[in-house]
Structure 1
Amino acid sequence: MEIRKDDSSDSEQQEVNSVEAIPSSEERSGIMPPSELIAHPRQEHHQSFWLWVMCLTGVDYFSTLGYQPSLAYEAAGRLAPIATLLLIAVTLGCALPVYRFVATKSPHGQGSIAMLEKLASGWGSKIIVLVLLGFAATDFIITKTLSAADAAAHLVHNPYWQDLPSVFQGQMTLTMGLLVLLGGMFLRGFREVIGIAVFLVGMYLLLNLIVIGSGLYFIADHGTLFGDWWSQVLTGDWEIPNPPVGGNGLFPILATCLILFPKLALGLSGFETGVVVMPLVRGDIDDNLDQPLGRIRNTQRLLLTSATIMSILLFGSSLVVSTLIKESELRGGAAADRALAFLAHGESHFTISPIFGENFGAFYDLFTVLILWFAGASAMSGLLNIIPRYLPRYGMAPQWAEATRPLVVLLTFVSLLVTWIFDASVEAQGEAYATGVMVLMSSAAIAVVIDIWQESRALGSPRIAWGYVVATLVFCYTTIAIMFEKPDGTQIAGVFILSVIVASAISRIKRSTELRFDRFEFADEESRVLWETLKYLDFPVLVPHRPGRHSLEQKERSIRQTHRLGEEIPIVFIETFLGDTSEFTQSPTISVLEESGRFVVELTKCVSIAHAIALVSLELAQSGKVPEIHFGWSERSPLTASLDFVLFGEGNIPWLVRELIRRAEPDPEKRPRVLIG
């Protein structure tokens, strides 16, 4: 192992020396981060103009127009446009400010989960992340399955597609086929995703502007349509099977919209993706790497622009659908799950535009299917980014989880299973999807409130950001309402969470005897020089010492007597101090002291005592004579000691040190010896 000076800091007081150890996981496996859509922290990717990157997020966000107008009518009937106005208010007044703030804290694409991870510590932080990963998996998986199901619905109703053999007409068959095709694409790999996204989003928005714009022009040109709709709304003829509030007038309307608002929460999806793709946003030339203000500013523009475009399209589509399509067509009819495509095909009983018909409808279906399918690709990419970012780093996933192909196969299988459970139904998956979306948004809002409180308290003037508190309450209300109304999403998320935690625990236990070492850091130059001296001691004996129980003199006397060591044999004491034991890899800081002729190696920020001792012995064995490590017997039970080791980094130390050395050093002649007396 090579000793080198780390010149990463300009400050002399913070200058440290480090010993390089094992390579990174990517270097070991030859695999670069799995997703080209999303970057790992501090990894520079090819960057593009923010408007083009917006199209990448818009693949997920704007594609909801394929099913959101239908789902809004399913939930709120003729009140859908008013409920959509409430959705827009939440989008612009709550979600947008929250994620603009998240963007300032995650310029390298960490997202809101990373914010919460930093605000907590220890195992509490890890559990929070694991739970949120379960909900994130729900979000991304059901984005894939829901988008594929809606794409299949558009194909099934396309008159040209209906000319194909019957084997291609089944909703389940088509949905699963699209998911398998998506998995195959990721196994092969693809590039130029931003260029594809710009083309798809541009064409899809243009087609929707034509459909929605034509519908709005038709409504304006036939004034009785809007008047009839408004009078029906005021008289309580809402076309809602079981309205939560009855009666006429504005109060029942607003109360009903508030109660039904969670059913429209799918329209909030896409914000998390907007901050995750930040590494792809081009900033200013003079941007600081740690806090690139230009990139942050452009990402905030991206979020504002996409939210504004989507708000306009959501309201317009909701008003057009509610006034120009019959209820029988929207509830279980030909317009279900494809309301705008229904209009584009000219299937409405109104002649809205002379260009609407089979040809224009087929063209509209083509781009709807493509953008929905590509939204599934965006979701898959998000999963391929988020799993390697957290679980392997925690030691809570096998090393193959850092490779793309095994993950693609696993995630495709899970997507097929979820599709089968929900019978490839768009409506059935809608609120399960909304559960994952809203939990992530709620956690983001909570993280923002806590972050502002902690920063202001550190400055001596603690304050509560009441605007963000209101946003948090809105998101939490929506999340709880969705969970009670449709527990499917919670159940799916619960399965994911349980699977993640169980698999993580098993993986952590199985990987506990990996060396888990990044590098040594030296506290000062004197420690580095003394460390070099230790490497050339003649027959060094290493003795772990826990400060506070016995003095170094008492410990040395006991060891020499018990292990029959002569006075001429040098002893090096190792004192370890635990840091965050929930971390998997460690970079301990070394301080080497010489006290009364005795060498003392202090290691701080350790995640495991056994690993720290094994690392010191293996490093010393590289240059000088192979050392011996002398232990005394412990009175603790083996089971208690093993549990303490897995959870808290201490316990069963002699056996574990020997096992770590055996696994790390294949040559028995170079292995430090472990003695217990």
Structure 2
Amino acid sequence: MGRPETIRGRLVSWLLQDQPVGQQGPHRPAPHPTHPWWKVMCLTGVDYFSTLGYQPAIAAAAVGLLSPLATLVLVLVTLLGALPVYRRVAEESPHGEGSIAMLDRMMGRWKGKFAILVLLGFMATDFIITMTLSAADATAHLVENPYVPHFLAGKEVIITLVLLALLAAVFLRGFGEAISLAVVLVTVYLGLNVVVVADALWNVITAPELVTSWRNALVAEHSNIWVMIGISLIVFPKLALGLSGFETGVAVMPQVEGSSDDDPERPATRIRNTRKLLTTAALIMSCFLILSSFTTTVLIPADEFKAGGQASGRALAFLAHEHLGNGFGTVYDISTITILWFAGASAMAGLLNIVPRYLPRYGMIPSWARATRPLVLVFASIGFVITLLFKANVNAQGGAYATGVLVLMLSASIAVTMSARRRGQRNAAIGFGVISVVFLYTTIANIIERPDGVQIASFFIFAIILTSLISRATRTLELRATGIRFDDEARRILNEAAATGQIRIIANEPDDRDEAEYRDKDAEQRDVSNIPQDASVIFLEVTLTDASQFETELDVHGEERFGHKILRVESPSVANAIAALLLKIRDEWGVMPHIYFAWAEGNPFYFLFRYLISGEGDVPPVTREILRRAEPDRSHRPRVHVG
């Protein structure tokens, strides 16, 4: 009879034991295993670099002969726009929260929280679709290889599901295995691309008539260079998939190796190494994008880029087979398939780093989400559903992917613009403002052309907001203090009270602190609660801070005013702070505290709603309920008196 319970217990233990995003106290990030920056670059690079598998073909299909110029625009936006923005994000958010953390700090309260939930919805869209789209694209490369058995044709959905399951299995093993595998995959993939691009360049150099033909056709089609530039700018949003990878590059910052001498709050070495990571990845990708776009446009007939053509979605793979033989082409296909499959690893790593840093802190996710393995299973399950809904179709998911990428880049550029302006850095604010305008245009143009991306993102946003609000409502009666500290005066007051064998505390509003208010409150509670006239009492005053926050550290300050002893504390919630403080006093001073309240006048339903939103409400019954849940043994529960 006990065996199923044992198996269940072992399963729960296994799911919760691996917590690289776990806690030191509620919702505090624990230290991550760290790695050299170039290894972590490979983890983000499986997403960023894997776009070489389809980016040249996308550019050629979008603008034809103008593909090299349009790709140059993409590279300029990357180096002059996205890279400076995310180098700044890495500097101001060194613990992996990304640009969302910057906006959170600058906006605050419920308005800020809802804005963050919307951005998390777009981030979930970006990262989840990265997993499903990349796996689907890997499947497409697999079934199109000439040596693959024909019976796999038509089994794209099943193959994609298997690839997603294998990706989840890697992360169930841990981050270390994911990074080690990423290093191998990226090294092999980039090495093979060097061979393919070098061979393509040699073919172009040894056949200059190809370049002449391309140039003549380009001039005949677009005689004015300004027209070419204008068209390249207009079609730029279609190439925006080549910008993916920056947000995940910042999200995995906790994995980047720093120095033991770093300030934990501002780890200078980790920031410097992350900026190296971002810059190196951007430069490598920019070189490959320009060279691959030029060579594929010159060497591959235009018809092959059309839907159904052999170069559709796989231009470099086409060159590998065409110029280096099917043997090398198959090796290249295998490398492309594996890196596209593992491109979801950087997205999974980003989700595992970011989600536990926000939603638990807001009280908007179950406590089990602090562990890695349950989150991996949740994200993998969502990926399965998306794959089934879209039948592993790459094009059907492209709009949502581009929308998620662009919205995150827009939010990052806005965040660094606001930050620079607040710091009085006028030139930087203007520069980042211009970048924000570029990403705003790109985002709007993409949404107009591909509205399905916003529709998919809206589903994620709605799901996150709904589940977050439900979780927040069901968790409001938890103890939410991550720690409690008493200053010397507070300890003296409590020591004196504990010496008498009784600690009697009167809850008091902190707004009015004149002598008459304390005198009247003291007299009222002694009368209605039968507190002996010679008994010493302590006033407790909780000042509300940002009620949208879920957790906090409580700093208790003691003072004497008008002959009365007073404990003061700030918290997002009055009742939760009082309950946590009473339990702390019980445990540390070994005396059962008594808390005295006055009944509030008004509708209890109104007070309940007010408690959920503002952290106030009808404090006495809520305090008692929090204590009841935190301490099941009534004999050990602090005493609550209401009169």
TM over 0.5: yes
Task: Determine the structure 2 residue equivalent to 1:574.
Answer: 540
* CA distance in 2 between partners of 1:306 and 1:61 (Å): 8
**Structure 1 residue corresponding to 2:191, chosen from 195, 200, 206:** 206
Q: Is the 8 A contact 2:126 2:404 kept in 1?
A: yes
Is the alpha carbon distance of 1:536 and 1:513 closer, same or farther for their aligned partners in structure 2, counting shifts above 3 Å? farther
Which secondary structure does the structure 2 equivalent of 1:675 belong to? strand
2:602 aligned with 1:636, yes or no? Answer: yes
Partner of 1:527: 490
Choose which of 620, 629, 632 in structure 2 pairs with 1:654. Answer: 620
Deviation at 1:44, TM superposition (A): 4.6
The one-letter code matched in structure 2 to 1:95 is: A
Alignment of 1:208-223 (within 5 A): 208-223=193-208
State the 1:577 CA deviation: 0.5
Pair 1:33 & 2:20 matched: yes
In structure 2, do the counterparts of structure 1 residues 603 and 226 end up closer, same or farther at CA, with 3 Å as the change threshold?
Answer: same
Distance 1:451 1:404, change over 3 A: same
Partner-residue secondary structure (3-state), 1:191: helix
- What's the CA shift string for 1:569-593, capped at 9, x where partnerless? 3322211101121111122221222
For the residues of structure 2 that align with 1:373 and 1:429, how far apart are their CA atoms?
15
- Structure 1 residue identity aligned to 2:169: G
Q: CA deviation at 1:114?
A: 1.6
8 A contact 2:86–2:246 mirrored in 1:
yes
What is the alpha-carbon distance in structure 1 between the residues aligned to residue 77 and residue 28 of structure 2?
30
**What is the distance in 2 between the residues matched to 1:44 and 1:665?**
30
Could you say which residue in structure 2 is the equivalent of 1:557?
523
- Measured after TM superposition, the shift of residue 617 of structure 1 is 2.6
Q: Deviations over 1:345-387 (max 9, x none)?
A: 12xxxxxx3xx12211110011111111111122122212221
Deviations 1:527-564 (A, max 9, x none): 22222223344444322111445611011122222333
Quote the residue 1:279 is aligned against: 254
Does residue 77 of structure 2 align to residue 90 of structure 1? yes
8 Å Cα contact 2:178/2:345 also seen in 1: no
Mapping of residues 299-338 of structure 1, within 5 Å = 299-332=274-307, 333-338=309-314
| Farther-moved stretch of structure 1 (651-660 vs 402-411) | 402-411
Shift of 1:597: 4.6
Distance 1:187 1:592, change over 3 A: same
Aligned to 2:356: 388
Pairing 1:290–2:254 present? no
Q: Where does residue 349 of structure 1 map in the other structure? A: none
Judge conservation of contact 1:130–1:500 (CA < 8 Å) in 2.
yes
2:330 is aligned to 362
Q: CA deviation at 1:254?
A: 1.7
The answer as to 2:101 corresponding to 1:133 is: no
**Which moves more between the two structures, 181-190 or 218-227?**
181-190
Q: 1:339 — aligned with what?
A: 315
Q: 1:541 to 1:286 in 2, by over 3 A?
A: closer
Q: Match of 2:433?
A: 469
Deviation, 1:142, is 0.9
Supply the distance in 2 between the matched residues of 1:407 and 1:52 (Cα, whole angstroms): 24
Pick closer, same or farther for the CA change 1:54–1:186 going to 2, 3 Å.
closer
Specify which of 158, 168, 171 is matched with residue 156 of structure 2: 171
Counterpart in 2 of 1:410? 378
Find out whether 1:608 has 2:573 as its counterpart. Answer: yes
Deviations 1:401-448 (A, max 9, x none): 222333222212211222233332222322321111111111111111
Q: Is the 8 A contact 1:394 1:584 kept in 2?
A: yes
Match among 224, 239, 242 for residue 267 of structure 1? 242
Per-residue deviation, 1:596: 4.9
**Could you tell me how far apart the structure 1 residues matched to 2:540 and 2:240 are?**
57
Contact 1:34 1:385 in 2 (8 A): yes
| Displacement after TM superposition at 1:61 (Å) | 0.8
Contact 2:246–2:278 under 8 Å retained in 1? yes
2:362 alignment partner, SS class? coil
5+ residue gaps, structure 2, are: 1-12
CA distance in 2, matches of 1:536, 1:31: 45
Count of residues paired in the alignment: 622
Partners of 1:537 and 1:625 within 8 A in 2: no
For residue 338 of structure 1, what is the amino acid of its counterpart? R
Q: Sort the Cα spacing of 1:175 and 1:491 in 2 relative to 1 into closer, same or farther, 3 A.
A: same
Q: Tell me the secondary structure at the aligned position of residue 397 of structure 1.
A: coil
Aligned residues of 2:140 and 2:156 also touching (Cα < 8 A)? yes
Residues 455 and 493 (structure 1), Cα distance of their counterparts in 2 relative to 1, 3 Å cut: same
Q: How does 1:221-260 map to 2 (within 5 A)?
A: 221-236=206-221, 248-260=223-235
Taking structure 1 as reference, are residues 535 and 486 closer, same or farther at Cα in structure 2, changes over 3 Å only?
farther
Could you give the per-residue CA deviations for residues 148-183 of structure 1, whole angstroms, max 9, x where no partner exists? 0111011101122135xx156522222222112222
Deviations 1:502-534 (Å, cap 9, x if unpaired)?
Answer: 100000000011011212223x42222222223
**Cα distance between partner residues in 1 of 2:629 and 2:264:** 39
**Which residue of the partner structure matches residue 621 of structure 1?**
586
Q: CA deviation at 1:496?
A: 0.7
Q: Which residue of 2 aligns with 1:143?
A: 130
1:594 aligned to 560, 569, 580, which one?
560
Query: Residues 450-490 of structure 1, C-alpha deviation per residue, up to 9 Å, x if partnerless?
Result: 1111122xxxx866621111111111111111111101221
**1:393, 1:585 within 8 Å by CA — same for their partners in 2?**
yes
Which of 493, 504, 515 is the equivalent residue of 2:457?
Answer: 493
**Alignment partners' CA distance in 2, 1:41 and 1:399:** 12
CA separation in 2, counterparts of 1:422 and 1:71?
20
Kept in 1, the 8 Å contact 2:507–2:540? The answer is: yes
Q: Compute the displacement of 1:188 (Å).
A: 4.3
Displacement after TM superposition at 1:29 (Å) = 5.5
**CA distance, structure 2, for counterparts of residue 167 and residue 193 of structure 1:** 28
- In the alignment, the residues of structure 1 paired with residue 365 and residue 255 of structure 2 have an alpha-carbon distance, to the nearest angstrom, of 27
Cα deviation, residue 119, structure 1: 2.0
**Is contact 1:41–1:108 with CA below 8 Å preserved after alignment?**
no
Comparing 131-140 with 185-194, greater Cα deviation is found at: 185-194
**1:44-94 Cα distance to aligned partner (Å, 9 max, x none):** 544444333322221111011111112222222222111101001101111
Is the contact between residue 507 and residue 539 of structure 2 (CA under 8 Å) also seen in structure 1? yes
Letter of the 1:545 counterpart: N
Does the 8 A contact of 2:21 with 2:30 survive in 1? no
Secondary structure of 1:544's partner? strand
Matched to 1:369, the amino acid is I
Contact in 1 for aligned 2:504/2:536 (Cα 8 Å): yes
Any conservation in 2 of the 1:41–1:110 contact (CA below 8 Å)? no
Cα pair 2:510 2:543 within 8 Å, conserved:
no
Output the CA distance in 2 between the equivalents of 1:129 and 1:392.
13
When residues 360 and 221 of structure 1 are mapped into structure 2, their CA distance, relative to the original with a 3 A threshold, is: same
Query: Aligned residue for 1:19?
Result: none
- Contact 1:537 1:624 (C-alpha < 8 Å) held by counterparts: no
In the alignment, the residues of structure 1 paired with residue 295 and residue 408 of structure 2 have an alpha-carbon distance, to the nearest angstrom, of 31
TM-score, normalising length: structure 1: 0.87
Structure holding more helix per residue: 2
Matched, 1:115 2:78: no
Check whether the contact 2:143–2:152 (CA below 8 A) recurs between aligned residues. Answer: no
In structure 2, C-alpha distance between the alignment counterparts of 1:472 and 1:170, rounded to whole Å: 42
Comparing 553-562 with 644-653, which one deviates more in the overlay?
553-562
The aligned counterpart of 1:506 is: 470
Give, as a single letter, the amino acid of the residue that structure 2 aligns with 1:210.
V
2-structure distance, mates of 1:421, 1:45:
35
Q: Is the 2:97–2:354 Cα contact (8 Å) retained in structure 1?
A: no
